[in-house]
Amino acid sequence: MSDATVTLQTWLATGIVLMPVLAGALLFARRESNAVAGLVGATGSGLSLALIVWLLLERAQGVRVVWEWVPELQVVLSWRLNSGTLAIAALVAFVGVLVMQFAGAYFGPSAKGRRAIATLSLFEASMLGLILADNLFMLFTFWELTGLCSFFLINTDADKRDDTFAAAQQALVVTVGGALPMLLGFIYLASVGSASLTELYALDLPIRAQTIAFLLILPAVLTKSAQIPFHFWLPGAMAAPTPISAYLHSATMVKAGLILLIYLFPVCGGTPLWTLLLVPIGGVTCIWGSYRALGQDDIKLLMAWSTVSQLGLMTLTLGLGTDLAIRAGILYLFAHALFKAGLFISVGGIDHAAHTRLLSKLGGLRENTPALFWFALILSGSMAGLPPFAGFLSKELVLEKLTLAAPLVHDVAVIAIVLGSIGTVAYTSRFFFGSFTGSPRSEEASKAHSPGLGFLSAPAVLAALSLVFGIGAKWIDRWFLEPVSWSLVGRPIEAPHLALWHGITVPLVLSAGIVTFGWFLYRRLAGRGLPPGPEALSGPILFENFLSLSRALGDRLSRALAGASPSVYFGLVLVFGLMWSVPLYGKLGDFFTHQWNFGGSLVLFVQLLAIAGLILLPGRLTRVLLLSVVGFTVALLYRLLNAPDLVLTQLLVEVLTAVFFALAVRFIVTQESPSPIGLSSARLAVAVPLGLAGAALVFALDAEPPDPRLPDFFLEAAPTIAKGLNVVNVILGDFRGLDTLVETVVVILAALGVGGLLRRERSGRETELKGSFVVRQLTRLILPLAIMLALALLLKGHDAPGGGFVSGLSFAVAAILGFAAYGTRSFRARIPVEPDRIAIFGALILIAASVIPMVMGEPMLTHRHGTLSPLGAFAIKWSTTLFFEIGVVMAIAGGLTAAAMRLWEMTNTRRDGGI
């Protein structure tokens, strides 16, 4: 085949899908096309049909790639062309032409009709895409698009009825949702085989893979093709206007599931579950659909339930899983599409003629609508499976292939088909005789007029085809069924030939029996309806239950969650984490062998007491103080470990934390003091194992020797490189100077932020709080000492405990003491600059300290060190680190003081009284 042919065929195939899209777009865009909407829609479908016929005549075969859409995800827009796919597409386009024409007549020139036909065209395009797509993911996309379009289609009459939205939503959720596992199935197939159907046909997947894929795809089939227990959306969808039902529920939407089954048969038909699941589900659906159809008064609902029943029959047939069964299924699929579309349109005609669809009001229409009577007769005959119509042929074939099935499957299938078919004969008779014969049961029915040509042409064509299909069995077999089923199954099928007369065979006898019993059933019921049967099977109850169950569960959960305290969640995480520590419990034995230091044990004991107090004592301030006690004991532990710098820092931070805490606690509005946390058994149950696990962990970690590299490096490098003996300070000021720089900037920013946030809250009375006389006098003594201490910490920091950070903290503590004693106003008057300005100057110094070396051509934050001996007698060590440290001091002291002052002022302007 030449490249040009391939390109042409690619375009033609794309055109098949595009034509209805164009028609739809045209209709959406142009208001004035109201009157010719049906014509535009039918033309779109007609052009599609023409292109399909063209490709059929060319005997196009193989995959035509249009666009490598998302190659990373194996999404490729490509068409799979063969006589099978094209024949199904032709059916969809052909029925499309008829339905669009009918819809034009049905809606008349209205904006609603135009929109409905436009949407119907888009739906048709999605359906054609679904049929022709080779790539599984494209198939999925088209599949979901049909569901989305159907949502809007079912909602067409939203202005007239209020049940449409619920019905549309049901259809959407069930069919779109059911397809989601299918996506996984496709992903799975793509991962074990290929995302292309054609390539999958060439592979022989292991049974396990086939089973997994089948199970994942099955929900999509069952939901789309309305199998129990997902069937309920289909009768609900009858809220849609008749043309839409005629299209969606005969040839297209509901067939998608069956088409998918046919497509997938060569890929995963080998799994035993194929038969084990599809046959019973199809059987139950077939019988139940028939039963419910018998009980309907509304003939449109009768048709809907009959569709459910026949879909069940087809599912069952395909489920038998032999080549022959697939062949029978394909034939039935076509036959059903023809007669069911015709019957739905006839129902539309009856409705139009008699203004009612209820059997209890119809009757005797033959007089006034003779044409419709004859068409309906042929179509009903086909549905009931009478010779010489298409329905008879396909039912014969369905019964024929049963003889080839396994015994048990055979029995189940025969019972289901026979029962379902008896019901079919009965309800078809009910519909036909109830509508057309007898005497009219209402005034409307007696005044019925024959509907116009627009209502009659489609049933005429479809009835004629049903007849031709039956009579021309031989040619149909040779020119249609054989090539179509061969190309769909992917290999030739040995099968008996179709004919109206095979002689007296088992299927024929069964058929005769079915018709007889069906007729008797109809006579016995004589127009009476049947009870709807158990709720569980009868309606959207499942869906509703699912929804209300989810809702109730959600309600319960959200209420339960709202009440749960955070400690529950924290506890959960802790328990979860520490479950892993059970193997470490053995380490607890180290408790007895550990070398306990007396001082350390004493400090730990005090700490334990404080913690116990925290849990058992009431009161906020008590707890703040006890928390400080815990902090101080930690400082003592540092002292025992010979870490004076840490001791200093810890102490000062503790003091400041206590001050800030005390100030902040006053903002808590409630006056009553909180009750003790207490020890409940649940808390103990979490806490005790957690504590033990923690202890075990500590012992386990203690056993590992510490890594000496870092301490060794710093101990050696501090005196030599940075000329300082205090390693901690050297690290802060020199080795990791950048960290300190950035951290200090953070402190400044935080202080500025706090200042800004609190500033705007200042309002109300300004009653300034001062310390008592004693406090003021004491402060007079302490303050100079504190400042001197802070200065000493700064200057000596390089070699002895101290340093910029600690010094800054000390200054801050001194300042807090100062304004607490004298009041902030007089404190402000005594200091030259506002604290937040000091912080900013500190930042500027820091920046200078880091930038100046860079200007001098050295790395950022390089320091110089040396010794100065002005008189030869003193040796004063100097270091530019000091400059840097001064910046740190100013920033920390300024920032913290500023924040504390704001807090102080706020607490004291809001309410009177001090701490």
Partner 1 sequence: MLTPTHADLVAIAPEIILTITAGLLLIVEAFLPGLRRHFSGLAMVGVLAAIWARLHFELPGAVWAGMMQIDELAAFVDIYILVAVIFTIAMAGPFLRRTETEVGEFYALILLATVGAMVMASSVNLLPIFLGLELLSIPLYVLNAFLRRSQVSVEAGLKYFVVGAVASAFLVYGIALLYGATASTDLAVIGSQVASSGQLNPLVAIGLAMIVGGLAFKLALVPCHAWAPDVYQGGPTPVTAFLAVVPKGAALIVLLRLADGMDLLHISPQWVAAAAGIAVASQTLGNIVAIVQSDVKRMLAYSGIAHMGYAMVAVIVAGADGGAAVLVYLVAYTLMNMGAFASIAMLSEREDRPHFINDLRGQGYKRPIVALALTTCLFSLAGVPPFIGFTAKFVVFRAAVNEGFVWLAVIGVVNSLVSAFYYLRVVYAMYMQPLPRREPKFQFSFQIATAAAVAALGVLILGIYPTPILEAAQTAILVLVR
Burial profile 686-699: b = 16 or more Cβ within 10 angstroms, e = fewer: beebbebbebbeeb
Does 736 bind partner 1 (CB under 8 A)? Our answer is yes
Contact predicate 237/167, CB 8 Å: yes
Give the residue, chosen from 501, 570, 591, 605, that forms a contact with partner 1 under the rule CB under 8 A: 570
Give the residue, chosen from 581, 622, 657, 909, that forms a contact with partner 1 under the rule CB under 8 A: 581
Nearer CB in complex with partner 1: 153/417 = 153
Beta-strand pair 876-879/865-868:
antiparallel
Give the residue, chosen from 160, 449, 474, 551, that forms a contact with partner 1 under the rule CB under 8 A: 551
Give the residue, chosen from 401, 723, 863, 902, that forms a contact with partner 1 under the rule CB under 8 A: 863
By CB under 8 A, the residues from 823 to 852 that bind partner 1 are 836
Q: Smallest distance, Å, CB 742 to partner 1?
A: 9
Question: What Cα–Cα distance (Å) separates residue 462 from each residue in 201, 305, 343, 390, 914?
Answer: 34, 21, 9, 11, 96
Give the residue, chosen from 745, 769, 782, 795, that forms a contact with partner 1 under the rule CB under 8 A: 745
Stretch that binds partner 1, among 24-32, 593-601, 730-738, 781-789 (CB under 8 A): 730-738
Q: Smallest distance, Å, CB 248 to partner 1?
A: 20
Q: Smallest distance, Å, CB 814 to partner 1?
A: 25
Q: Smallest distance, Å, CB 374 to partner 1?
A: 43
Nearer CB in complex with partner 1: 100/145 = 145
Contact predicate 128/93, CB 8 Å: yes
Contact predicate 194/148, CB 8 Å: no
Binding map of partner 1 across residues 154-173, x = CB under 8 A, - = no contact: ----x------x---x---x
Backbone angles phi, psi at 706, to 5 degrees: -65, 155
Q: Smallest distance, Å, CB 218 to partner 1?
A: 12
User: Amino acid letter at 601?
Assistant: S
Q: What is the DSSP string of 14-51?
A: HHHHHHHHHHHHHHHH-GGGGTTHHHHHHHHHHHHHHH
Does 415 bind partner 1 (CB under 8 A)? Our answer is no
Nearer CB in complex with partner 1: 616/854 = 854
Compute the distance between CA of residue 687 and CA of residue 703 in angstroms, rounded to an integer: 24
Calculate the CA 478 to chain-centre distance.
Answer: 49
Strands (E), 630-676: none
Give the residue, chosen from 532, 753, 784, 914, that forms a contact with partner 1 under the rule CB under 8 A: 753
Q: At what angle do helices 111-132 and 3-29 cross, to 10 degrees?
A: 160
Contact predicate 862/779, CB 8 Å: no
Does 545 bind partner 1 (CB under 8 A)? Our answer is no
By CB under 8 A, the residues from 758 to 787 that bind partner 1 are 761
Cis previous bond, 407, omega within 30? no
Calculate the CA 657 to chain-centre distance.
Answer: 46
By CB under 8 A, the residues from 35 to 74 that bind partner 1 are 70-73
Q: How many residues bind partner 1 (CB under 8 A)?
A: 73
Nearer CB in complex with partner 1: 70/608 = 70
Does 657 bind partner 1 (CB under 8 A)? Our answer is no
By CB under 8 A, the residues from 348 to 367 that bind partner 1 are none
Does 1 bind partner 1 (CB under 8 A)? Our answer is no
> Which of 754, 758, 741 shows the shortest CA–CA distance to 842?
741
Nearer CB in complex with partner 1: 112/736 = 736
Nearer CB in complex with partner 1: 548/597 = 548
Does 860 bind partner 1 (CB under 8 A)? Our answer is yes
Q: Smallest distance, Å, CB 757 to partner 1?
A: 7
Question: What Cα–Cα distance (Å) separates residue 587 from each residue in 98, 605, 634, 684, 688?
Answer: 84, 22, 24, 22, 16
Q: Smallest distance, Å, CB 583 to partner 1?
A: 5
By CB under 8 A, the residues from 591 to 620 that bind partner 1 are none
Does 214 bind partner 1 (CB under 8 A)? Our answer is no
Q: Smallest distance, Å, CB 193 to partner 1?
A: 12
By CB under 8 A, the residues from 254 to 313 that bind partner 1 are none
Angle 878-880-881 (CA atoms, 0-180°, nearest 5)? 100
Does 578 bind partner 1 (CB under 8 A)? Our answer is yes
By CB under 8 A, the residues from 687 to 726 that bind partner 1 are 693, 697, 700-701, 704, 707, 721-722
Compute the distance between CA of residue 879 and CA of residue 551 in angstroms, rounded to an integer: 71
Does 237 bind partner 1 (CB under 8 A)? Our answer is no
Q: Smallest distance, Å, CB 164 to partner 1?
A: 10
Q: Smallest distance, Å, CB 755 to partner 1?
A: 8
Q: Smallest distance, Å, CB 27 to partner 1?
A: 21
Question: What Cα–Cα distance (Å) separates residue 345 from each residue in 93, 224, 236, 366, 737?
Answer: 16, 22, 18, 17, 86
Compute the distance between CA of residue 310 and CA of residue 225 in angstroms, rounded to an integer: 10
Compute the distance between CA of residue 756 and CA of residue 761 in angstroms, rounded to an integer: 9
Contact predicate 144/121, CB 8 Å: no
Give the residue, chosen from 406, 757, 785, 851, that forms a contact with partner 1 under the rule CB under 8 A: 757
Structure tokens at 603: 């400090």
Compute the distance between CA of residue 248 and CA of residue 156 in angstroms, rounded to an integer: 13
By CB under 8 A, the residues from 71 to 100 that bind partner 1 are 71-73
Q: Smallest distance, Å, CB 572 to partner 1?
A: 5
Q: Smallest distance, Å, CB 752 to partner 1?
A: 5
Stretch that binds partner 1, among 120-128, 430-438, 556-564, 598-606 (CB under 8 A): 556-564
Does 573 bind partner 1 (CB under 8 A)? Our answer is yes
Nearer CB in complex with partner 1: 214/288 = 214
Q: Smallest distance, Å, CB 588 to partner 1?
A: 13
Does 547 bind partner 1 (CB under 8 A)? Our answer is yes
Stretch that binds partner 1, among 240-248, 258-266, 756-764, 807-815 (CB under 8 A): 756-764
Stretch that binds partner 1, among 332-340, 344-352, 551-559, 593-601 (CB under 8 A): 551-559
Does 756 bind partner 1 (CB under 8 A)? Our answer is yes
Cα separation of the two ends of the chain: 96
Give the residue, chosen from 403, 516, 550, 867, that forms a contact with partner 1 under the rule CB under 8 A: 550
Structure tokens at 817: 């003491």
The alpha carbon torsion through 421, 427, 430, 433 (nearest 10 deg) reads -50
By CB under 8 A, the residues from 428 to 487 that bind partner 1 are none
**Owner of token pair 């062309």:** 81
Compute the distance between CA of residue 326 and CA of residue 335 in angstroms, rounded to an integer: 14
Does 314 bind partner 1 (CB under 8 A)? Our answer is no
Stretch that binds partner 1, among 87-95, 120-128, 413-421, 578-586 (CB under 8 A): 578-586
Compute the distance between CA of residue 216 and CA of residue 192 in angstroms, rounded to an integer: 14
Exposure of 270 by Cβ count < 10 A (0-12 exposed, 13-18 middle, 19+ buried)?
A: middle
By CB under 8 A, the residues from 134 to 153 that bind partner 1 are 141, 144, 148
Structure tokens at 367: 């007089």
Backbone angles phi, psi at 67, to 5 degrees: -155, 130
Nearer CB in complex with partner 1: 169/538 = 169
Q: Which long-range contacts (CB under 8 A, 24 or more apart) does 779-788 make?
A: 779/817, 779/818, 779/820, 779/821, 779/822, 782/817, 783/814, 783/817, 783/818, 786/810, 786/813, 786/814, 786/817, 787/811, 787/814
By CB under 8 A, the residues from 174 to 203 that bind partner 1 are 176-177, 180-181, 183-184, 187-188, 191
Give the residue, chosen from 212, 287, 741, 793, that forms a contact with partner 1 under the rule CB under 8 A: 212
Compute the distance between CA of residue 304 and CA of residue 298 in angstroms, rounded to an integer: 10
Does 561 bind partner 1 (CB under 8 A)? Our answer is yes
